[in-house]
Amino acid sequence: MNQILTSRVLVVFLFISTFIVQAQVSFDIKVSKKRLGLNERLRVDFVMNENGDNFNPPSFKGFQVVSGPQQAVSRSWVNGMQSFSKTYTYFLTPKLKGKITLDQAQITINREVYKTSPVIIEVTEAVEKPNDPNNIDYITDENIKLVAEISNSNPYLNEGISVVYKLYFRNPISISDVQELESPGYGDFWSHLIKVGQVRVNNKGQYNGESYNEVVWRKVVLYPQKTGKLNLEPLTLNLSLTVPSSRRDLFGRRIMTQGQKTISAGRRVINVKPLPEKNQPAGFTGAVGQFDFDVILDKDALKATESFQATLKVRGNGNLKLFKLPKINVPNTLEVYEPEHKENVKIKLSGMGGTVEDTYTIVPKYQGRYPIPAVEFLYFDPKTKSYKSVRSQDLLVDVFDGPIAGDAQEVAANLTKQLVQANDTAFRFILLDTKLSPIKTPSFWKSKLFWILLVLPILLLLFTFLFKRFVLGRSEDSASKKQREAQYLARKYLSSAKKAFHDQVAFYEALERALHNYLKAKLKIETIELSKDKIESLLLDKKVKAQTALDFVSVIENCELARYAPGRSVSVKRDYEKASSIIASIDRQL
């Protein structure tokens, strides 16, 4: 009896110990080698067994980041037990020889902060045979670049700059599909995105003096609105690639393989200089660029009962939409109305160019010759690094045929004298003898009220019929239209998954990517770093029904199960239809 009891206690103890071991969270760093040559590359993996957030890599001091972070997620089930692994991968090249320490990385898992241990890497002299050129990661890192070209990284406040994002690639790599995973934000800038149009490949591109195929992915014009160091968030693309593998066919030719590559332009810093305070004029309103200025009158001679217009016009290149024009100054005897503002500005990669103008309507009260004083326009020229002033000409307006200023009382007195001296025939047009007759009360059946009461019900019936036919019918058509739009949106995002019905792994990869891209586009969020719990929370915050949010997360879990457990029984068609239905449902609720 004691032996049986002891064996049972031992089994329970082993089960609890196994559960505790499995429940432990790990976050480790793995390096491809701890000793490498100056001309070799180092692969660094940060691996965790639970999904986490707020990943902070080390500074990589002494190394240059060639690519990364690249993210990979793995799930598996063995004997009913689930295992999870998530990895962030970086590829580094050393900048100097000696012993270099990789500092700690940290991540938050289940509200707890975990850190890796520091790792010492020894860098020696350059070796004759560096990293394996047949390695796929090495091939992609060497032959694909995503670059943000900035026209001026040290501008003045409100000085325009341009950023062009270019993708460079060359043989033996070919790109079949590109998806934008992360779009840069420009919170501290006035920004304007220039349409690129159809993506074209330039076969004569140059990067660091070497020939590449060049694709211009995005163009944007920025005007900084703050001084200091401003961050440009990175542009991140996911590329579908065809890369030669290390295997060869019977004829000695390399076998091509399909792969995915996530590449980022990296975060850039713009150091914005303040405008000089020395010699800054008092009337400066923030214009930065190169401008011409003038005041234009539509007429310079008119009657006192007429009006004329004075237009203050600025022409040139600079922040035309971001400053106020000076005010016009006229004599008090001229009545001035609020100006009408007009802009004729075109935005190119070089910045804003065109004209802005304020048009004042002015009405004179009396006769006279009125001067329009010169108006001064002040701006800062970043090319000469100095403030400049442009003055308009002194103008003159001639007003005739009207009252004279200062003689109003005399004019009124003369008019009074003329009225008093009028002769006795002035009022003969007024009839003094009248003939009155009684007013007859009309019959009700012939009155207007009778006809109104008769016609009004007919008009109400006609109005009710037209309202139901056209207004309510149109509302029903609008609801049907929204339903069709939701179904079209689902088909749009799931088109890549539908093409891969024949391949289970490829289908669920495309389906999961489509669901994440839909969330990013619809909720304006980035889903790469989000767990399923956070996705569900975000949907609930957007007033999406709880069951719909659970169904959405369930489809993502099915994608992961199908991808990392290929032997599992799945229904591609059922999951595709369920995803389409859920996307349409979320779109209607939002």
For residue 231, what are its two tokens? Answer: 């961050």
In DSSP terms, 64 is beta-bridged to: 93
Sequence-distant (≥ 6) Cβ neighbours of residue 164 within 8 angstroms = 148, 149, 216, 218, 219, 349
Q: What is the CATH number of the domain that holds 571?
A: 1.20.120
315 and 213, same structural domain? no
Q: What is the CATH number of the domain that holds 241?
A: 2.60.40
Q: Which of 167, 305, 325 is nearest to 236 (CA)?
A: 167
Q: What is the CATH number of the domain that holds 347?
A: 2.60.40.740
**Cβ atoms within 10 Å, residue 562:** 22
pLDDT for the residue 440: 61
- Biggest alpha carbon distance in the chain? 145
Q: Is 350 part of a structural domain of the chain?
A: yes
Residue 48 binned pLDDT confidence (cut-offs 50, 70, 90): confident
Q: Is 60 part of a structural domain of the chain?
A: yes
Percent of the chain with pLDDT over 90: 27
Q: Is 470 part of a structural domain of the chain?
A: no
Residue that is written with structure tokens 């045929």 in the block: 401
Q: What DSSP string runs through 20-55?
A: HHHH---EEEEES-SEEETTS-EEEEEEESS--EEE
CA 491 to chain centre: 24
Residue that is written with structure tokens 């001067």 in the block: 371
Q: How many domains does the chain have?
A: 4
Residue-level length of the chain: 590
296 and 263, same structural domain? no
**Domain residue limits at 90:** 22-131
Handedness of CA 588, 534, 69, 184 (dihedral sign): positive
Q: Is 10 part of a structural domain of the chain?
A: no
pLDDT for the residue 418: 38
352 and 261, same structural domain? no
Handedness of CA 503, 505, 511, 517 (dihedral sign): negative
Q: Is 229 part of a structural domain of the chain?
A: yes
Residue 20 confidence (pLDDT) above 80: no
Determine the Cα–Cα distance for residues 332 and 330; give it in Å rounded to an integer: 7
Q: Answer with the one of 373, 400, 427 that is the final residue of a domain.
A: 400
pLDDT for the residue 410: 42
Residue 415 binned pLDDT confidence (cut-offs 50, 70, 90): very low
564 and 523, same structural domain? yes
100 and 33, same structural domain? yes
Mean pLDDT of 111-124: 89
Q: Answer with the one of 353, 371, 400 that is the final residue of a domain.
A: 400
CA 14 to chain centre: 55
Q: Is 408 part of a structural domain of the chain?
A: no
247 and 142, same structural domain? yes
φ, ψ of residue 204 to 5 degrees: the values are -115, 30
Q: Is 491 part of a structural domain of the chain?
A: yes
Q: Answer with the one of 247, 272, 297 that is the final residue of a domain.
A: 272
Of 19 and 533, more confident: 533
Q: What is the mean pLDDT of the chain?
A: 80
pLDDT for the residue 316: 96
Peptide bond into 172 cis (omega under 30): yes
Determine the Cα–Cα distance for residues 546 and 552; give it in Å rounded to an integer: 10
